[in-house]
Amino acid sequence: MTNPDTADSATPTLQVIPLGGMGEIGKNIFAYRYGDEIMVVDGGLAFPKAHQMGIDLIVPRIDYLLEHQHLIKGWVLTHGHEDHIGGLPYILPRLPRVPVYSAGLTLGLVREKLTEFGIKDGEVDLREVQPGDKVRIGQHFHVEFVRMTHSIPDNMGYILTTPVGRVVHTGDFKLDEEPADGKTSDLARLEQAGKEGVLLLISDSTNAERPGHTPSEAEIARNLEGVIAGCRGRVFLTTFASNVHRIQNVLHIAHRQGRRVVMEGRSMLKYAQVAQGLGYMEAPDPFLTSDDVGELQDQQILFVCTGSQGQPMAVLGRLAFGTHAKIALRRGDTVILSSNPIPGNEDAVNLIVNRLYEIGVDVIYPPNPRIHASGHASQEELATVLNLTRPKFFLPWHGEPRHQINHAKLAQTLPRPPKRTLIAKNGDIVSLGGDEFRVSGTVPAGGVYVDGLGVGDVGDEVLLDRVNLSQEGLIIMNAVLHPTPHVEIVTRGFVRPNRELDFQIKRVALEVVEQGVREKKRLEDVRDDMYGAVRRFVRKATGRNPILIPMIVD
């Protein structure tokens, strides 16, 4: 291999290979490859869309990593959100044990997750780093971690020095000037990198369509403090369980206002436990349980609950539908949703909000008052990072095409726009070095569906069946040929029990079967005839196309 310091056209390029999170929001994972070395970043999951029926979650396809597993030298995790670490239990056990670097809270959450999956500590080589730390991965990757604020503590981007030049990856970020832990983004380090020269910037595109600056957690906390101060009864507050900053601020507010806090819901308790255990959350008063609050007055109680996304089985859902075993909402209570629905969850959240109104509790949610802020940078912040780092090349990441392209357009309006911007997709091999910056090939990429215990045994053809079944249901025709031809009908999801219609379908099927027997047709032909005759009859009689399943017993 040539000496990277005297790079010429024969020098190997640096490849950036997104396997998830490029052109989508979710299941973030990508690989850097230089020569015979690979370094991987994150390993997230995605939640299914409405048409992906029955799917629990989606993890990235890692064919590329499996095929080149002997080249993997190390792993970097930017932060502890599910879309960055939730896929690791499905990914890490299938690959060689290499060092996995991240900050304390992120590793705490990863450990918790691996334990749930029965993966032992020794099977994974987790190594804690701090922002500012530098590690070498393989021979060629020098990683310097950079603190960036986000909606979870210990979030980091990094500056990656490689033989072809410097890459700045923001990770998920916003530029919060008043984060709950007082630790702001290390813009000085980004600026310095910009002065030293940045070959490539990979930056968070989630909110590239939003003008202005994403509000600080401190502003949200001030607004929440005002709202809670106005509540005379019990307060039930929900937010993302991973938003340790937000919850920390709520704990302080509760303390100042003389309210004791009850944490309700499995994930709320889990995050609080991990964050407290590692020193990322401080409870001014010990948490109570719902059994303990009997002696307190209503205005001395604040519940922090799961269910901000309208999940019917989470705490807020059970409260709204009156199915919580221990707590019943009543007039005088206030429910505060310090969250927005994630796209796809709007209907579920709306249903719960309406139920809460019907119960007669006060319901308070954004945007009026402003009691939620995104964890992702808006246009002004994106411009700041582009201006500070002044990259030669730019890869808008962590977004759908609309977000990537608007991020690219924003970059073009700045005083020193990147020389070239690529809108990449999962599976693209983005090659760079010198003046080269292009998609030079592709690798397999996409999603693996996780459904129950099954990982990958449900594919798109199975989902298509589920969609079809959901639209008009199905009719099973079970024909017995001997001694006397006879047809049984079973339907599901078709129409209400309807003897007349069943009778007619049976008659249509039986006629064809009897004819087939008389003419001594082959079994498959009788089956196909029955299928066709019933299909035509049902379409004409009902205007519908249920799935038909013909079965024949000779």
204 is catalytic: yes
The SS3 assignment for 422 reads: coil
Which neighbouring-strand residues pair with 67?
none
Sheet of 72-76: strands edge to edge?
A: 125-128, 99-102, 72-76, 37-41, 29-34, 14-20, 428-433, 436-442
Asked whether position 470 contacts a second copy by CB under 8 A, the answer is yes
Q: Which of these segments, 90-98, 180-188, 217-225, 542-550, binds a second copy (CB under 8 A)?
A: 542-550
Q: Which of these segments, 219-227, 297-305, 340-348, 438-446, binds a second copy (CB under 8 A)?
A: 340-348
Asked whether position 498 contacts a second copy by CB under 8 A, the answer is yes
Which are the contacts of 101, defined by CB distance < 8 A and separation ≥ 6?
Answer: 74, 75, 76, 77, 127, 128, 129, 135, 137, 143, 145
Nearer to a second copy, 106 or 338 (CB): 338
- Name the active-site residue from 154, 176, 186, 204: 204
From the CB of 391, what's the least distance to a second copy, in Å?
22
- Binds a second copy by CB under 8 A, chosen from 292, 346, 435, 525: 346
The candidate with the shortest Cα–Cα distance to 62, out of 30, 14, 15, 102, is 30
- Binds a second copy by CB under 8 A, chosen from 36, 128, 488, 511: 488
Asked whether position 543 contacts a second copy by CB under 8 A, the answer is yes
- Binds a second copy by CB under 8 A, chosen from 70, 326, 331, 496: 496
Question: What gap in Å lies between CA 134 and CA 161, rounded to an integer?
Answer: 10
- What is the DSSP secondary-structure string of 303-321? EEES-TT--TTSHHHHHHT
Q: Which of these segments, 9-17, 109-117, 181-189, 474-482, binds a second copy (CB under 8 A)?
A: 474-482
Asked whether position 380 contacts a second copy by CB under 8 A, the answer is no
- Name the active-site residue from 140, 169, 245, 376: 376
Say how many residues make up the chain.
Answer: 554
Asked whether position 523 contacts a second copy by CB under 8 A, the answer is no
Residue whose structure tokens are 């002696």: 295
Question: What gap in Å lies between CA 268 and CA 337, rounded to an integer?
Answer: 14
Nearer to a second copy, 111 or 466 (CB): 466
- Binds a second copy by CB under 8 A, chosen from 101, 271, 394, 494: 494
Q: Which of these segments, 50-58, 149-157, 245-253, 525-533, binds a second copy (CB under 8 A)?
A: 50-58
How many other CB atoms are there within 10 angstroms of residue 15's CB atom? 20
Report residue 394 CA to chain centroid gap: 24
- Binds a second copy by CB under 8 A, chosen from 439, 480, 510, 517: 480
Q: What are the start-end ranges of the E strands in 28-124?
A: 29-34, 37-41, 57-60, 72-76, 99-102
Draw the binding track, 170-209, toward a second copy (x: CB under 8 A; -: no contact): ---------------------------------------x
- Binds a second copy by CB under 8 A, chosen from 122, 182, 211, 286: 211
Nearer to a second copy, 495 or 510 (CB): 495
From the CB of 378, what's the least distance to a second copy, in Å?
12
Question: What gap in Å lies between CA 529 and CA 488, rounded to an integer?
Answer: 16
Q: Pick out the residues of the known binding site for substrate.
A: 241-243, 372-376
Q: Which of these segments, 140-148, 172-180, 387-395, 544-552, binds a second copy (CB under 8 A)?
A: 544-552
Q: Kindly state the DSSP code that residue 46 receives in the 8-state scheme.
A: B
- Binds a second copy by CB under 8 A, chosen from 463, 512, 530, 533: 463
Asked whether position 284 contacts a second copy by CB under 8 A, the answer is no
Asked whether position 49 contacts a second copy by CB under 8 A, the answer is yes
Q: Kindly state the DSSP code that residue 237 receives in the 8-state scheme.
A: E
- Binds a second copy by CB under 8 A, chosen from 7, 71, 95, 462: 462
- What is the DSSP secondary-structure string of 353-379? HHHHHHHT-EEE-SSSS-----SS--H
- Binds a second copy by CB under 8 A, chosen from 495, 506, 515, 537: 495
| Residues touching a second copy, count (CB under 8 A) | 60
How many other CB atoms are there within 10 angstroms of residue 115's CB atom? 12
Asked whether position 212 contacts a second copy by CB under 8 A, the answer is no
Nearer to a second copy, 187 or 351 (CB): 351
The SS3 assignment for 206 reads: coil
Nearer to a second copy, 56 or 63 (CB): 56
The candidate with the shortest Cα–Cα distance to 196, out of 166, 173, 224, is 166
Taking the C-alpha atoms of 295, 298, 299 and 303 in order, what is their torsion angle to the nearest 10 degrees? 90
Asked whether position 53 contacts a second copy by CB under 8 A, the answer is yes
Q: Pick out the residues of the known binding site.
A: 54, 56, 79, 81, 83-84, 150, 172, 241-243, 372-376, 398, 451
Question: What gap in Å lies between CA 165 and CA 159, rounded to an integer?
Answer: 10
* Residue 322 dihedral angles phi and psi, to the nearest 5°: 70, 25
From the CB of 543, what's the least distance to a second copy, in Å?
3
* Angle CA 49–54–55, to nearest 5: 60
- Give contact residues for a second copy (rule: CB under 8 A): 49-50, 53-54, 209, 211, 343-344, 346-347, 350, 353-354, 357-358, 363, 368, 400-402, 405, 451-454, 457-459, 461-463, 465-474, 476, 478, 480, 488, 490, 492-496, 498, 541-544, 547, 549, 551, 553
Residues labelled as active-site residues: 204, 376
